[in-house]
Structure formats: structure tokens, C-alpha cells
Amino acid sequence: MDMKMPVDKGLDNTFNLLTEGYSFIQERSEALQSKVFETRLMGKKMVCMTGKDAVRLFYDTDRFQREGAVPKRIQKTLFGQNGVQTLDGEKHKIRKLMFLSLMTESALNRLTAITTEQWRLKAQQWTGQENVVLFDETEEILCRVACLWAGVPLKEPEVQSRAYDLGAMIDAIGGVGPRYQEGKMARERTESWISTIIEKFRDGAMEAKEDTAIHTIATHRDEAGRQLNTQIAAVELINILRPVVAVARFITFGALALHDYPMYKEKLKEGDAEFSEMFVQEVRRYYPFTPFLGAMVRYDFEWNGFHFKKGTTVLIDLHGVNHNPELWETPYEFRPERFKDRKKDLFDFVPQGGGDPKTGHRCPGEEATVKIMKASLHFLVNELKYDVPSNQDFSVDPIRIPTLPKSKFVIQNVSILE
Ligand code: HEM
């Protein structure tokens, strides 16, 4: 039976998206009483979907493709051009394996060790400083971590500007005007820097260990046995550096959670590994980061009575699925305990995408993210003493994509615990 897909009112809802932010799909889905509906965004007819079954559908790589689904403005800022995010089929599989091959147990342990070491080094500068803006400092720390882990040389005087650029590409996601321009220029500068590094490595003018990202990406062979050209290799190496820096957002939210729910700080201090895992997962679920993702219908098909037309862009509501009351009890409460003995499911907990990362586009860096978060929060809780001044704006704007606590979380009177 072919049912008519509910249609969102309005000639074009781009403005509403900009003024509704993270709740755009969820609220409309509730109002239309349908997990699937049609809307118009950026002058194009699009389909929005939410719920677990919709995630499962979205990650069906037979019915959906990514080529042609990533807007140019996202390629010019966040993703870059011709990267893994835009590939399908065999090409995607081979490129994706390159990323997954970097996530070995020993490489991830090295990532944890580097993260702890870099927090310790940076924190020494904070004692005696009046205000420490945790988010900005964390981006810098993670820029150092990303480069050390990936084998990319980074000179001390350039740390601040490289960290800024990697952060600006992420901050541009929902930005129009100056925020978009900043992200675009940040990408141009970063691609030029990383292209030079790739060339140096290939020319033998610098070395890197075999299990580093630069070594793996610069020597990677595609489906035809060819090396990636310099531009694509740079885009893919930035696909490692930038998301490591992005983890600063989850860490800042983690610090906010520790402030808002001090009993969890005590529990984390006890060093219970199971609780640390639960806490980190709840930070990834509860706080807003990735709002939704897009893919394109590959051929006409029917699903749950609805017709999906070839060439239509379909958006999946990741934020809404992480806050869906059918999947999560009291979804707008921060409650790490909900992850105790929770069964792993590829389609209901989707802060970094859904499905199987080997066969689809799900983030290959989830374990890396969790490792960085655990090491960072462990440091904040067990090695640092600080005050959190109340005269700052902790509010998290649900309209701005991506969002953060407005003050970016300021701490004071920092001392290092022996
Ligand atoms: C703040 C932490 C992170 C968030 C919120 C995040 C989120 C995401 C999301 C939503 C996707 C898209 C999934 C899809 O298209 O279906 C993705 C893909 C990707 N992520 Fe992450 N990620 C994070 C950390 C990382 C880390 C630490 C790495 C690597 C070290 C990484 C590498 C990638 C790559 C290479 C892709 C493209 C995968 C593909 O297209 O097949 N991410 N990430």
C-alpha cells in the first residue's frame, strides 16, 4: 500500500531549521505524528526520518548512497572534497579499512598515554592564571595529541593557530556568513599545511612509525593499486586530526556534567572502570553534537508504505534518536546508570552514526573518542583541583549547531594534585 508521506508546512523550512536547531526533526515528527515526513530545505524537497527503524534503513547501503548527498558547503569546511564521507561501495570499503586499521589496541593505548601526558604538560601553565577557558585549552591539548598520535610534526609556535583552524572547521557546520567563511579559510590553510607534510613524508624528508596515520594514509593504495593524490591524502589525514580535536566538545560537556552532578565526580574518583564507561557514554548520548546526517536514495523503493524516490536527500535525526522516549527512559535526564548492562545495539545509540562501521559510514573513531574522554576526565577528576566560578553562562544554546556551554566552561584557582 502506498501512503502519502506527511508534508511539513511552509514553502521552504531552511529558516526554521536555523531557528529550531537540534529539535527541528524531532518536533516536526511529533507534530505530524510520523517518523517520516517531507519538507523543503535549501530549495530542495527532502525527507526527514527519526527512530530506530529509520536508522536501520538509513544505513542500508544498497538503498542509499553518499555521493551527491554532502552539500558543497560542508565539503568546503567540515569534510573536504573527495574524502571517505563521499564514497560508496567498493571504493568506500577499501578507504574505510584504511581508517579502521589505525584503531588497533596498541595504537589506542598509545592515544590514551599521549592524552594523559599532554594534559599534565598543559595544566602546569594554569596555576596562577586567573581564568582558564576549558574548551579552548582542551582544543589545544587535543591538537597536540592528534599530531603526536598521527605522526604529524607540529612546532610549538604554530599550536594555537593549527588548533584554532581544526576547531573552526567543526564550528562552521551550521554556520552562515562569517562562521562559514572562517571554516572555509581554516580548511584551506589546513589542507595546504598537511599537503606539504604528506609530500615531505613521501619524498623521504621526514619519517613516521608504521602504525601512524600519516604513514598509513600516505602509503595507502586504492582499489586500482594507486596511491591517493596529495589533496585526497591531506583530506583523509585531516579526517583524523580534526575529529580528535572535536572530542574537546564532549570533554567540555563532561566537565559541565561533573559540575552539575557532583555525586558523579565522587564516583569517578573511585576509579571504577565500569562507571567511567557509563558516564562517558551518557555524555555522548545526552549532550548535543551531531544533529543529523544526509544520504541520497539510490533507486525508487517502498518502505513502511512510503515511497522513496530516486535522487531524494534523506536526513536521519541522530540527536532525536538519542533522545527518543521509546528508546530511552526520561531521555532528557542525565543518568549514566542507564548504560549499566545495556545491550549494545547498532541502531539506537548513535552519537557518531549507526550501523556497522566496516560496511557503512559509521564513525571509525568511537573507541578513540571514548579513550580520549576517559583519560581526560580521569585527569580532571584525579589530578586537578579547580573552582568553577558561578558568574559564567553555563547555558547550552539548543539552536546553535554545533553548540557548547556559552562560557566555554571557565575554571579558576587551578592546582595540580600530587
Ligand atoms: C567528538 C567525537 C566524534 C564525533 C561526534 C564523531 C561523529 C561522526 C559522525 C556523525 C560521522 C558520520 C557517520 C555517517 O556518515 O554515517 C563520523 C564519521 C567519521 N569519523 Fe567521527 N566522530 C568523532 C570522533 C572521531 C575520531 C576521534 C576519529 C578518528 C580518529 C573520527 C573519524 C571519522 C571518520 C574518518 C569518519 C568518516 C567515516 C565514513 O564516511 O565512512 N571521528 N564521525
Whether 266 and 110 have beta carbons less than 8 Å apart is answered as: no
Q: What is the pLDDT of residue 1?
A: 59
Q: Is the pLDDT of residue 331 over 90?
A: yes
- Would you identify the CATH topology of the domain 14-416? Cytochrome p450 (1.10.630)
* Terminal Cα-to-Cα distance of the chain (whole angstroms): 69
Q: What is the pLDDT of residue 3?
A: 82
Contacts of 231 (CB under 8 A, 6+ apart): 81, 82, 191, 195
Domain extents in the chain: 14-416
Name residue, grid cell 548520548. Answer: 285
Q: What is the pLDDT of residue 275?
A: 97
Region 75-102 average pLDDT: 96
Question: Mean pLDDT score of the chain, rounded to an integer?
Answer: 96
pLDDT band for position 345 (cuts 50, 70, 90): very high
Q: Which of 140, 110, 112 is nearest to 208 (CA)?
A: 110
Residue 306 Cα to ligand 1 midpoint, Å, equals: 30
Residue 253 Cα to ligand 1 midpoint, Å, equals: 18
Residue 301, burial from CB neighbour count under 10 angstroms (0-12, 13-18, 19+): middle
Give the residue whose CA is nearest to atom 7 of ligand 1: 352
Residues 10-19: tens digit of each pLDDT? 888 888 888 8
Residues 31-80: tens digit of each pLDDT? 999 999 999 998 899 999 999 999 999 999 999 999 999 989 899 999 99
Whether 246 and 171 have beta carbons less than 8 Å apart is answered as: no
In terms of phi and psi (left: phi > 0; alpha: psi -120 to 50; beta: otherwise), the region of 386 is beta
Residue 7 Cα to ligand 1 midpoint, Å, equals: 31
Residue 416 C-beta-side C-alpha neighbours within 13 Å = 12
Give the residue whose CA is nearest to atom 41 of ligand 1: 361
Counting residues of the chain whose pLDDT is more than 70, the rounded percentage is: 100
Residues 234-265: tens digit of each pLDDT? 999 999 999 999 999 999 999 999 999 999 99
Q: What is the pLDDT of residue 11?
A: 80
Residue 247, burial from CB neighbour count under 10 angstroms (0-12, 13-18, 19+): buried
Query: What is the position in ligand 1's atom list of the atom closest to the CA of 249?
Result: 1
Residues 133-180: tens digit of each pLDDT? 999 999 999 999 999 999 999 999 999 999 999 999 999 998 889 999
Query: What is the position in ligand 1's atom list of the atom closest to the CA of 354?
Result: 16
Query: What is the position in ligand 1's atom list of the atom closest to the CA of 84?
Result: 40
Q: What is the DSSP letter of 413?
A: E
Query: What is the position in ligand 1's atom list of the atom closest to the CA of 369?
Result: 27
Region 77-86 average pLDDT: 95
Q: What is the pLDDT of residue 14?
A: 84
Residue 361 Cα to ligand 1 midpoint, Å, equals: 8
Whether 212 and 149 have beta carbons less than 8 Å apart is answered as: yes
Residue 373 Cα to ligand 1 midpoint, Å, equals: 15
Distances (CA, A) of 414 to 128, 268, 274: 7, 19, 28
